[in-house]
Structure 1
Amino acid sequence: MPRTADRRWVVPERGNRFAMQVALLLARKVGRRRLEWLLGPITLYFFLHNGAARRASRAYLRRALPIRPTITTIMRHMRCFAQVVLDRIFFLQNTTDMPHVRVTGRECFLQALADGRGCLLLGAHIGSFEALRALGREHGITLRMLMYRSNLGGATDVLEALDPTYAQTIIAIGQVDTMLRVAESLGRGEVVGILGDRTPDTDRCIRTKMLGGDVLLPEGPFRLGMATGAPMVLVSAIRAADGVYDVNFVPLGVPYPTSRQGRSAFVQQAAERYAGWMEALCRRHPFSWFNFYDYWKDLP
């Protein structure tokens, strides 16, 4: 399988700690609805000062939209991202002012949990994973997040400090005890979430098609599923026009192999299924994709 030395996103996230602290202060003073008035100026600043994100947005929207992207559509894309970041503040604070959540496919998720092996929830940087945490709190479900931590910036640190229990729910990728902690969590019947659309340079990856071009996806989530035997469920949480987050669960739908010889074929089929699921989401909700870098490696 190919490897990648791609470090386009494995660098500290853009974000200003002071600006985020100001946003939190305003959030407590004026509330979510009034704070949304600032999203316009924030979007304009991001559009003007982040040329790489602007170019990446245009390249993605050319694939996802039936029409050629314009300045207006690029700014709409960036504003949707700013909106999700704002909503994350209120999800983490767990207040009555946080956005509401709707659920479809709940039976699929509960059925995956029923056999006591835990569950691997496979998402992407589409919409908001924070909405899923809110759902877990509501139903008393322990959700742990397997994630790459070395690229987090000061703004993210400020956000995560809003929930004192947040750090306890994270399993960092690349640590000596990562697999042990995942196995222990699943053994307790808990849920482990993974965003599988970015490939750190330490992971083996697999090539597949998405939105008309080749993309590289990490093998790790699918090999983790084979190693643990935990059922895998695809999950998305997309902000609808009414401000409610629509959480949707669907089964991965690719059975685990019964022999070693079938493992490579399973990883390929699972990656193709995952890429097809992401593509369908991007077609239906083109402004909810939040990978602002050269995802298809076709920009100069």
Structure 2
Amino acid sequence: MSETQNRPRQARPPSGGSEARTAASTAATSPAPPADWATQRERSNLWVLRLMGAIAVYAGRPLARLVLHPITLYFLLANGPARRASRAYLARALQRPAGWRDSYRHIHSFAATVLDRVYFLQDRLAQFQIDSRNVPAVEAVLAEGQGVMLLGAHVGSFEALRAGAQSVGTRAAMLMYEDNARLITATLRAIAPDVQLHTIALGRPGAMLALRRWLDGGGMAGLLADRTLPGHSGRSRTLMLPFLGQPAPFSDGPLRLAALLRQRVFFMAGLYHGGARYSLRFEPLADFRATAGPALEAEVEAALQRYVALLESICREAPYNWFNFYDFWASDAASTSATPD
């Protein structure tokens, strides 16, 4: 739901060899303490997940969807900062002033994906209509016996993407920082104790080795790359890139991780279209298998720009699917110094 990426301090990026391996090891083992706003949001989302999980299990989906309306109304009225952030974002995505009805729809879409997460985890897929785009491109990579790194955002439902991975006969793991992984895994196991939850907790010793083995075994590994957090000691940079009409901070850390592991990267999104309708999107971002030296720096930056452009396109197409309920543009703009060359 709210797995976060963090914003490392700006430093000279690694070029390869032992320096690259050292950087990868640091990124995998150095804990990244979350900012207060991130911790609060994680715990809030987990509370919602627990509530919706209980409703989903005991009431069934038709009745549970009726309960979404009072829950949505409560959050709309009670959470002023989230409501204001929603309206500010929607005004950018919709390219018009956003009102209460828009924010209600935005929060309701979020609550609906939380509810459906329970059913996806329990493999109750027959009640959903799921279409997809560019799945053959991902299948072609998997058919070679290689894994794929997926770069996503807090858009729609990752559980829909996990279901899509199962439909093509592979496994999908989520990369999270340790605190978030522990909180979210515990909650999801309470909802679906028998489900196979694949998470790789960055910040633990051996995380990089676990990720490499997962990918070498033909699995897919997903990261959500639309948030940045302070406190990391790695070597990635945060760039201010144009996003919905104003520069916003994006970290190139996930792409550098893929580059260090020599992986192919796809953009991913599991969009919610109302009712029981979802669509899975995959778009190629980068192929780091043969890129090194100065060309690597250029390819990482170009891939990050493509990622931001695709995310912007998704936000225009399905504006009520982006679930960052805070001031994304102002969150750490004052502390971000790196800009694209």
TM-score, normalised to structure 2, is 0.79
Shift of 1:58: 1.5
Cross-structure match for 1:265: 298
Shift of 1:156: 7.0
User: SS at the partner of 1:197?
Assistant: coil
Cross-structure match for 2:20: none
TM-score, normalised to structure 1, is 0.89
Structure 1 Cα separation of the partners of residues 46 and 219 of structure 2? 33
Structure 1 Cα separation of the partners of residues 185 and 37 of structure 2? 15
- The answer to whether 1:128 aligns with 2:160 is no
Cross-structure match for 1:216: 249
Aligned identity (percent) is 36
Structure 2 Cα separation of the partners of residues 232 and 265 of structure 1? 15
Cross-structure match for 2:91: 62
More displaced stretch, 203-212 vs 192-201: 203-212
Cross-structure match for 2:135: 106
- The answer to whether 1:144 aligns with 2:193 is no
In the alignment, structure 1 segments of 5+ residues that lack a partner are none
Cross-structure match for 2:9: 3
User: SS at the partner of 1:221?
Assistant: helix
> Residues 58 and 254 from structure 1, CA distance in 2 versus in 1: closer, same or farther, beyond 3 angstroms?
farther
In the alignment, structure 2 segments of 5+ residues that lack a partner are 1-6, 11-32, 334-341
Structure 2 Cα separation of the partners of residues 191 and 22 of structure 1? 30
User: SS at the partner of 1:11?
Assistant: helix
Q: Which AA in structure 1 matches 2:79?
A: N
Cross-structure match for 2:44: 15
Q: Deviations over 1:224-263 (max 9, x none)?
A: 2211122111111111245211012111156667331122
Shift of 1:129: 0.7
Q: Which AA in structure 2 matches 1:205?
A: R
Structure 2 Cα separation of the partners of residues 94 and 260 of structure 1? 44
Cross-structure match for 2:201: 172
More displaced stretch, 249-258 vs 184-193: 249-258
Cross-structure match for 1:162: 191
Given that residues 170 and 218 in structure 2 are in contact (C-alpha distance below 8 angstroms), is that contact kept between their aligned partners in structure 1? Answer: no
Q: Which AA in structure 2 matches 1:62?
A: A
> Residues 153 and 76 from structure 1, CA distance in 2 versus in 1: closer, same or farther, beyond 3 angstroms?
farther
More displaced stretch, 226-235 vs 157-166: 157-166
Q: How does 1:190-269 map to 2 (within 5 A)?
A: 190-201=219-230, 202=232, 204-207=236-239, 208-253=241-286, 258-269=291-302
Cross-structure match for 1:76: 105
Given that residues 125 and 291 in structure 1 are in contact (C-alpha distance below 8 angstroms), is that contact kept between their aligned partners in structure 2? Answer: yes
User: SS at the partner of 1:121?
Assistant: strand
> Residues 273 and 56 from structure 1, CA distance in 2 versus in 1: closer, same or farther, beyond 3 angstroms?
same
Q: CA RMSD in A?
A: 2.8
Q: Match for 2:211 among 166, 169, 182?
A: 182
Paired residues in the alignment total 300
